[in-house]
Each structure stands twice: as C-alpha cells, then as structure tokens.
C-alpha cells in the first residue's frame, strides 16, 4: 500500500509518501513541502496547493491519502485559512480518486509515540527512527505529514474511510 500523508497549511503544506513493503518494512518514496508566499493573493495560494499536490499524486501514485485534521488554532483567521487549505487538499485527493482518511494530532501522536500528548520533538525523533531517515525532515510540517502517513499504515485495518 502506498500512502500520501498531508499536514495542511496555507504557508506550508507538508507531504510524505510511504509504502508498506512486506509485513513490517516501510519505504519512503518522497517528502517535502508546498510553500506559498504571504504576498501571493490567497485564492492563488490555494491554487498552488492544488496544482502541486496534484503533481505529487500523479508522480507517486498513492492509493490513499491521510490528512491531519484541524485540531485547534489560537487565531480564528489562521484556523479559517488552514480550513480552506484542508478543503483544497481533500478535494484534490477526491479528484485523483484516492481513498481519503483523516487523523487528529492526538491519534498521530498515539500511533507514533504511544502517548497522545507527546511533544513535537519526540514525534520528529521517532519518525526519523521508524522510517530510517538520516535526519529529521524539515520543516516540521514535513515530519508531521510523514507521521500522518505512518499513522494510516499502522491503523489501516482498524480505520474506516472518511464519509466524504
């Protein structure tokens, strides 16, 4: 199974593609970030996220997309803009015929570290170890996206597809 993990954001959308190889081995196919400039008009930023994600999906051909849910935001404006980005990401996955799954940050931390209130640094170190990476992926959104993909692979047999 090849899974695309996505950590939504307007300025930075992290992504990572992981494949299960055999029963217990994971292969990282690619990861990175879709970056948009704050000086770019907001609708164009959403368009950039859509086109870049479409290219990533077409390049790596995942079967499923796992997207982190918006948990909370200190700033309402930020929450709304990230919500718009999530909508674009979900629509892109649907347009590309991917099975779509959503995970809360708590579920991701629980799956990866075994503790739902784990620190971000713990998650980053664990994703590096679990995936056999030479260094922690940067920016943080990329490590988060890989963690979301890992969560889906770890929980695929227990989790039902989102109702979208």
Active site residues: 7, 68, 141
Backbone angle region of 97, left / alpha / beta, with phi > 0 → left and psi within -120 to 50 → alpha: left
- Residue 11: CB partners within 8 Å, gap ≥ 6? 35, 36, 38
Which tokens go with 31? 């990861």
Taking the CB of residue 130, how many other CB atoms lie within 10 A of it? 16
């Amino acid at each position: 199974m090849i899974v695309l993990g996505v950590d939504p954001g307007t300025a930075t959308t992290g992504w990572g593609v992981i494949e299960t190889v055999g029963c217990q081995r994971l292969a990282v196919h690619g990861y990175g970030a879709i970056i948009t400039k704050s000086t770019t008009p907001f609708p164009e930023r959403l368009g950039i996220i859509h086109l870049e994600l479409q290219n990533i999906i077409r390049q790596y051909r995942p079967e499923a997309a796992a997207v982190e849910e918006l948990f909370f935001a200190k700033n309402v404006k930020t929450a709304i803009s990230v919500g718009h980005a999530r909508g674009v990401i979900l629509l892109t996955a649907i347009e590309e015929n991917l099975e779509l799954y959503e995970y809360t940050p708590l579920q991701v931390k629980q799956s990866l570290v075994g503790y739902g209130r784990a620190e971000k640094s713990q998650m980053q170190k664990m994703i590096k170890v679990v995936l056999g990476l030479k260094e922690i992926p940067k920016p943080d959104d990329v490590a988060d996206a890989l963690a979301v993909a890992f969560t889906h692979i770890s929980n695929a047999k227990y989790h039902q597809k989102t109702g979208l």
